[in-house]
Structure 1
Amino acid sequence: MEKKTGYDAVVFDMDGVIFDSERAVMQCWKELADKYQIPDIEKAVLSCTGTTMKRTREIMLEIYGEDFPYDIYAKESSAIYHSRYDGGRLPMKPGVVELLTFLKEDGKKIALASSTRRQTVTNQLKDAGILNFFDNVICGDMVEHSKPAPDIFLKACAELGVAPERAYAIEDSYNGIRAAHAGHLLPIMVPDLLPANEEMQEKAEVVLPDLFEVIAYLKGEGAC
């Protein structure tokens, strides 16, 4: 297979790609579901994957009704999450540091495009000791439209000074792949909680099992 030379940058999603945070969030909500008898919580939380806090609230109210005390539950879930994972305790996905190091040494630009708000993103990257790898960090509270709209990826490319067509986007969520595809980036899907369905297979350049395989793919040694 030919070596990948036609790209200038890689734009990462954070939750589910860099950190194993989506599984952690799910666990917090499952505990609340047991406590408050909330039905079908896994399906509801999965439907919010890759969206902003605002959109998550809208989705949860659409599912459970306008009288659902989402704000109360979300605050309790957040408290559980931060008590467990703040201060560098949030587990990173295997291969994160290796991939970031490879890209940096290869002279590629690196950005983050996360639907999470900026303060949380910055804190988590800093606590993990990887913030300095990123040339730009674009967050959900910095764009008007959240994923699956392409705004956040287009802003990341603009900040980096690269054409979207010459930037890979690494995503785990359906909304993330939709956003990268709509923005004409080259989407790589590394599934986390949800497997790649037919739509994802069509929209992604490639679906890979982990970040080590992403390194191999970008080197031209992986599957096409």
Structure 2
Amino acid sequence: MRSIHAVIFDMDGLVFESERIAMRAFIRTAHHFGFQMNELMHLNLTGRVEEDCAAQMQRMYGQDKDVRAWRAYLREQKASIRKAQGGRVGKRPGLLALLSYLHERDIPFALASSSTRQTIDSYLESEYLLHEFTNIVDGSQVERGKPDPEIFLRAATLLGVEPEHALVLEDGLAGITAANAGGFVSGFVYDDLSFAGSVDTGFPILIDLMSVDDVRTTADVSFDTLNDVIGYLEKARSVRQ
């Protein structure tokens, strides 16, 4: 175990319940356009910038598929679902307790998200957390999105910490891969989206997908909830610098 001097948060599915919105929107989109969709597809796709998401979906379903149209419809559905929730996205279980712990222990933290700054601010405002995340790196600030580690390296520089002493908290394969590539301590926090079901008919997924267990073993450490991160950080405090 390495000593941890800072924490870097992903946003969607890690800080907020926004991936629950995304998964429901994906299921609607899959039904509308006729392609297969399941939780593992989402796990392997999440965390990427828009261009990378489109490119990955092209590999998943074939170069002849109009995934740009699929993603435009997906964005409409996400907006519709969020509107029906009064604009809220919801906080992930254990978030507030973890943020309180970080403040009490004077452990700096940052938000590193592939989303636009406008989306980030909108989510933070809707959940009354604008005051909490003052260190933010968004997708427009990097040339290469996850699984490249650039966004996390920028966040580490912002916090003044070496990657080897920063814990990156992620819920997706691309983010865990990026954290590992950058030399960070990668922490996988599983976001169970199985509630939304799946679409098992239509255009098939053409590539092999990593399972939840695969991602767990790829990460340095795995947590069931953000509450569990507190215990890990307490143990890391006793590690020599």
- TM norm. shorter chain > 0.5: yes
Cα distance between partner residues in 2 of 1:5 and 1:41? 38
Distance verdict in 2 for CA 1:45–1:204, change over 3 Å = closer
In structure 2, the residue corresponding to 1:112 is in which secondary structure?
strand
Cα distance between partner residues in 2 of 1:135 and 1:109? 10
Distance verdict in 2 for CA 1:113–1:75, change over 3 Å = same
- Compute the displacement of 1:99 (Å): 0.6
- Compute the displacement of 1:44 (Å): 4.1
Cα distance between partner residues in 1 of 2:49 and 2:70? 16
Cα distance between partner residues in 2 of 1:55 and 1:46? 14
What's the counterpart of residue 183 of structure 1? 182
What's the counterpart of residue 13 of structure 1? 10
1:126 aligns with 2:131: no
- Compute the displacement of 1:35 (Å): 2.2
Greater RCO (CA < 8 Å, at least 6 residues apart): 2
Q: 1:41 is matched by which residue type in structure 2?
A: M
Cα distance between partner residues in 1 of 2:3 and 2:60? 43
CA RMSD of aligned residues (A): 2.1
TM-score normalised by the chain length of structure 1 = 0.87
What's the counterpart of residue 98 of structure 2? 99
- Compute the displacement of 1:5 (Å): 8.9
Q: Of 56, 70, 73, which aligns to 2:67?
A: 70
What's the counterpart of residue 23 of structure 1? 20
Distance verdict in 2 for CA 1:135–1:162, change over 3 Å = farther
- Compute the displacement of 1:83 (Å): 2.4
What's the counterpart of residue 172 of structure 2? 173
- Contact 1:29/1:77 (<8 A) preserved: yes
How many residue pairs get matched? 215
- Compute the displacement of 1:176 (Å): 0.9
Cα distance between partner residues in 2 of 1:187 and 1:62? 26
Cα distance between partner residues in 2 of 1:107 and 1:204? 25
- Contact 1:109/1:135 (<8 A) preserved: no
- Contact 2:88/2:123 (<8 A) preserved: no
